Amino acid sequence: MARKKIIAGNWKMNMTPSQAVELVNTLKPLVANDDVDVVFCVPAIDIIPAMEAAKGSNIHIGAENMYFEEKGAYTGEISPAMLVDAGVKYVIIGHSERREYFAETDETVNKKVLKAFEHSLTPIICCGETLTQREQGVTIDFVRQQIKIAFLNVTAQQAASAVIAYEPIWAIGTGKVATTAQAQEVCKAIRDCIAEIYDEATAAAIRIQYGGSVSASNASELFAQADIDGGLVGGASLKPDFGQIVNY
Ligand code: PEP
């Protein structure tokens, strides 16, 4: 069965609650496309107003992060149950900005992935190499290691429903997009890695996005690649361009 494309916006630390409502209302008619899954991953405080604004549309409101504990003395964190209660289905896990600025590691990513599945949330699991790693020729080894650790103790059934976002760090927010060949090569290597860990059926089912300076002008070529099932989009998800990306 063909994999349904999934195109997710990552708003990062942008948009106040009232701006979030305005942006959802602006983008709603532009992203009305039932052939793809459309997700807006928004700051925690925007989830509920964005969800209200998106009601009746095809937009899923997702989260940008969550903690791996159930509840308790973890000041400032958001629990999976809070997300579920708010109506969230998708949550970004292990974005490179969280790894860089908030000390997330492959191990905490794995804990979050397991916890997300425990609560029937779909994780959008981020991976990707630095420019130095690419130049050193270790991209595939590095990304395979990130994937293997992220999926430790994850069942095949859970893995089949996951989303992976391959995001070369050097392409995030830089305007420097990976070539379609580079993006396809790594997305295929990730799918092969999933086949090694699980089986061909799981690898064929899992959805793999490309992320890193996706724009209205490069989306169609990227999403046409055999192993690229959509995109994780930062900057362009805050603009009407996101409508063009969704309708690539
Ligand atoms: C991202 O934040 O995941 C991202 C890919 O950002 P941008 O599209 O702005 O490069």
Active site residue 60: no
Q: How far is residue 152's CA from residue 193's CA, in Å, rounded to a whole number?
A: 13
Residues with Cβ within 6 A of ligand 1? 10, 12, 167, 172-173, 211-214, 232-236
Q: Are 112 and 92 in contact (CB under 8 A)?
A: no
**pLDDT, average across residues 76-94:** 98
Catalytic pick among 64, 95, 97, 129: 95
Cβ neighbours around 197 below 10 Å, total = 17
**pLDDT, average across residues 165-181:** 93
pLDDT confidence bin for 60, thresholds 50/70/90: very high
Q: How far is the CA of 218 from the centre of ligand 1 (A)?
A: 13
Q: What is the pLDDT of residue 139?
A: 98
Active site residue 167: yes
Q: What is the pLDDT of residue 175?
A: 87
**pLDDT, average across residues 233-239:** 97
125: three-class secondary structure by DSSP: strand
CA dihedral 67, 71, 76, 81 (to 10 degrees): 60
Q: Which residue has the higher pLDDT, 114 or 177?
A: 114
Q: What is the pLDDT of residue 151?
A: 98
Q: Is the pLDDT of residue 1 over 70?
A: no
**pLDDT, average across residues 57-62:** 98
Q: Are 210 and 248 in contact (CB under 8 A)?
A: no
Residue 102 burial (C-beta neighbours within 10 Å; 0-12, 13-18, 19+)? exposed
Ligand 1, atom 7, lies closest to the CA of 234
192's tokens: 């092969």
Q: What is the pLDDT of residue 177?
A: 86
Q: How far is residue 23's CA from residue 216's CA, in Å, rounded to a whole number?
A: 18
Ligand 1, atom 5, lies closest to the CA of 212
User: What pLDDT, in 10s, does the model give residues 104-148?
Assistant: 999 999 999 999 999 999 999 999 999 999 999 999 999 999 999
Q: What is the mean pLDDT of the chain?
A: 97
Q: What percent of the chain has pLDDT over 70?
A: 100
**pLDDT, average across residues 31-57:** 98
